[in-house]
Chains A and B, each alone.
Chain A
Amino acid sequence: MAKTVEEIAEAMLNMVTDAQGIKKLKPTDLIKAMRELYGDEADKKLCKGAIKELVNSGKCVYTYFGGSFIELPHRESAAND
């Protein structure tokens, strides 16, 4: 049975949380990981929907450092508060 957007989003959030501060994950990294984990149960459209869900809910944010990444919201070290 195909996974739901919420299930994929949760799995992605766990990946991002584990990687925070260690490795920056690109959206493609997350999608590839979900495809490996769930196979046909997680197609590309579903994975993109999960990323949209994570960002729209504020659980994750897009960041840019040479390329675009998905990370947990955090205080930016370069920011001048």
Chain B
Amino acid sequence: MADQIPNTPKLDELEKGPWPSFVKEIKMAAKNSPMARDLLGVLELSYNEKIGHWKHGGIVGVMGYGGGVIGRYSDMPEEFPGISHFHTIRINQPSGWFYTADALRTLCDIWDKHGSGLTNMHGSTGDIVFLGCRTDALEPVFEDLTKAGFDLGGSGSDVRTPSCCCGPARCEWACYDTLALTYDLTMHYQDELHRPAFPYKFKFKMSGCPNDCVASIARADMSIIGTWRDDIQMNQDEVKKYADNGLNIQRDVAGNCPGKCMDWDGNELKIENEYCVRCMHCINVMPKALRPGKDRGACVLLGSKAPIVEGALLSSVLIPFWKPEPPYEDLKDLVETMHDLWCEEGKARERIGEFIQRVGMGNFLEEIGLEPLPEMVAHPRENPYVFYEEYYEEDDGDEGEE
């Protein structure tokens, strides 16, 4: 066991500068934690050798669960005994990452008692992450977490911990209650969260408005992004005040509109709402003058992923406008149909977006029973995956032929 903090000249470089440093935090933890001391040692070694020293995956977990714990062993247990086991525990975060100070203290106490004391608030999936646990401490940690009202999150080929932005709790642009939907989906998909049964991971992420602060469109298999379908609410007096205060509305608002649907004549702002693409730019620039419409709901998109096996994918529109209302049965029925199809036909480690690319969006829509819509196509005639076969007559192909 390491008794003193090792020399780490390369890691020390990362402490320089005005930004926060994970090295500084690990060094702070190393004063009390032998695991943190050995972690510094192995990190410095990895920086020198330019190779990692972790063995990933395996059998570790808590009884009954297939997700929530990511197994990690060091390949140098003799040199760094403190981190010979260094498993990661994912804990299901509260919707919108709202905690009481008491809840945070409880989590820290549990982790100081059983693990390395190192946390990651939060992981890219959104979960609270406990870094560095011995195999024999997994069950006690789980027991203490359960007593404190926390559950493990997702890992492996399952529904990952649903995640959302702060929504209507703190944001005036939220077009639906992201927190309620996230909580509902988390409770509904408990089995799928804890018992991996899919070809690969499946992520839900909820954003309250098209600003998409949780970047759901780029990293969730199912992105549910708030939107509206009526006109942007406008206060012309406030628009004028922005102009009077020096904002160049023609250049900085209308000129940057991707839908080119705005016009400023120096006195009045006009919006052709049918050409609005709901990008939120104008609303973000003039929040006192413009607001999302009143008829609010969400757009449901499907299929994004990060570039792990193949290239990155952005989500495609699945339902252009949906009114999220409890108990959200319509969405859950659709998701179940998709999961059934993907489980039946998907290959191992194939995300649902890749599956759609392989079978074709037209075939996918047909199988899940959704009608193709123009909103599902990125640009007219650029992406001809939807065929309107019902419009063809039998003798259409004969026209013009000799």
Contacts and interface: CB of A to CB of B under 8 A. Distances in A.
A55 B61 CA distance: 11
Nearest to B65: A62
Contact of A78 (B66, B73, B344): B73
Contacts of B63: 56, 58
A27 B197 contact: yes
A63 B57 CA distance: 8
Contacts of A62: 61, 65-67, 156, 195-196
B64 interface: yes
A79 B58 contact: yes
A74 B367 CA distance: 40
A51 interface: yes
Contacts of B74: 80
Interface string B57-91: 11111011111001101100100000011000000
Interface string A51-68: 110011010011111111
B199 interface: yes
B66 A68 contact: yes
Nearest to A56: B64
Given A52-B195, A62-B61, A64-B58, A79 B157 contact: no
B192 to A, nearest CB: 9
B57 A66 contact: yes
Contacts of A65: 57-58
A52 B195 CA distance: 8
B111 interface: no
A52 B64 CA distance: 7
Interface in B260-285: none
A32 B195 CA distance: 17
Interface in B187-226: 191, 195-200
B241 interface: no
A28 interface: yes
A64 B155 contact: yes
A21 to B, nearest CB: 14
A64 B156 contact: yes
Nearest to A63: B59
Most chain B CB inside 10 Å of its own CB: which residue of A26, A44, A48, A73 = A26
A76 interface: yes
B195 A61 contact: no
Nearest to B191: A48
B58 A26 contact: no
B250 interface: no
Contact of B77 (A58, A66, A73, A80): A80
Given A51-B197, A62-B67, 19 more contacts: A27-B195, A28-B198, A31-B197, A31-B343, A51-B195, A56-B63, A62-B66, A64-B70, A64-B156, A65-B58, A66-B349, A67-B196, A67-B200, A67-B348, A68-B157, A73-B59, A76-B59, A78-B55, A78-B57
23 contacts: A26-B199, A27-B195, A31-B343, A44-B340, A48-B195, A51-B195, A51-B197, A52-B195, A55-B195, A56-B63, A62-B66, A62-B67, A63-B57, A64-B66, A64-B70, A67-B156, A67-B199, A67-B349, A68-B66, A68-B157, A79-B85, A80-B77, A80-B85
Interface of A: 26-28, 31-32, 44, 48, 51-52, 55-56, 58, 61-68, 71, 73-74, 76, 78-80
Interface of B: 55, 57-61, 63-67, 70-71, 73-74, 77, 84-85, 135, 155-158, 191, 195-200, 340, 343-344, 348-349
